[in-house]
Each structure stands twice: as structure tokens, then as C-alpha cells.
């Protein structure tokens, strides 16, 4: 079996409308489909499914799951995106820093999911991996 690349990520969210405002309006993802409790978004070659789970208890919301979701952006786009995230007062958890052969910034969506913009390829990262 040969996997061809990133396909999609599904993220459980507490409020679909609030998350759509973040992912579509702020980050600029394209809304492909919106259902009653889910939405499908596209960002470059990646797609993201948001599933509303308002009935999850606090314990369920703290479950082991996604560590972070990273999306590729070129270096020029990275610096523009960093400025934009800061201007929009998005919660930045790390960076911007040069790491893994490229620039990295980590930030939070409205439910605390860690997202990352990264400018390096896997090949770039392997050249500096220790």
C-alpha cells in the first residue's frame, strides 16, 4: 500500500458557527458543504471536516486525540500569514520560529485545537532531523 499524501482531518468542535467563522472567515478556507452538525472545508489541497459535538462532557473534550494539524505554506506566504494571525489576535502558542528546515507558527482554533503553518517539506525536515 502506498499512501499518496495528506487527505483530510476531522476536528470535533463545540460550536459549528463559531468554528466556521474562524476557519472560513479568518483563515480563508473554502466552505464546500455545511450540514446541520458538520461542515467540509478546503484549503489548498487539504480538506477539513468539522463535526459539532456540543454534548461532549468536559472529560470527553479533553480526550487524547489530535496533537496538531499542520498545513504547508511557502515562505513569503508564511510571513504574511503570521502578520495576519497576530493582527487578528489569534492565540499563538509557538513561533514564529525557524524549525525543521522551515518557518513554523502554532496557533489555536476557538476550541483549542493546535494548528500549524509550516514552510518546509518533509525532505527539508529530514535534512536537519537529529
Are 116 and 66 in contact by the 8 Å Cβ rule? The answer is: no
CA dihedral angle for residue 20, residue 114, residue 116, residue 89, rounded to 10 degrees: 60
Query: Active site residue: 60, 75, 87, 116, which one?
Result: 116
Helices and strands in the chain, H and E counts: 4, 8
Q: Known catalytic residue: 116?
A: yes
> Which residues are tagged catalytic?
116
Amino acid at each position: 500500500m502506498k499512501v499518496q499524501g495528506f487527505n483530510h482531518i476531522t476536528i470535533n468542535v463545540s460550536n459549528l458557527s463559531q468554528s466556521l467563522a474562524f476557519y472560513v472567515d479568518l483563515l480563508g478556507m473554502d466552505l464546500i458543504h455545511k450540514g446541520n452538525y458538520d461542515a467540509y472545508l478546503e484549503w489548498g489541497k487539504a480538506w477539513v471536516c468539522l463535526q459539532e459535538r456540543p454534548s461532549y462532557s468536559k472529560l470527553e473534550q479533553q480526550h487524547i486525540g489530535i496533537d496538531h494539524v499542520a498545513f504547508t505554506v511557502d515562505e513569503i506566504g508564511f510571513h504574511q500569514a503570521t502578520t495576519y494571525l497576530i493582527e487578528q489576535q489569534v492565540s499563538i502558542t509557538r513561533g514564529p520560529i525557524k524549525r525543521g528546515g522551515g518557518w513554523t507558527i502554532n496557533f489555536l482554533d476557538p476550541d483549542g485545537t493546535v494548528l500549524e503553518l509550516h514552510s518546509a517539506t518533509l525532505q527539508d525536515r529530514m535534512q536537519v532531523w537529529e
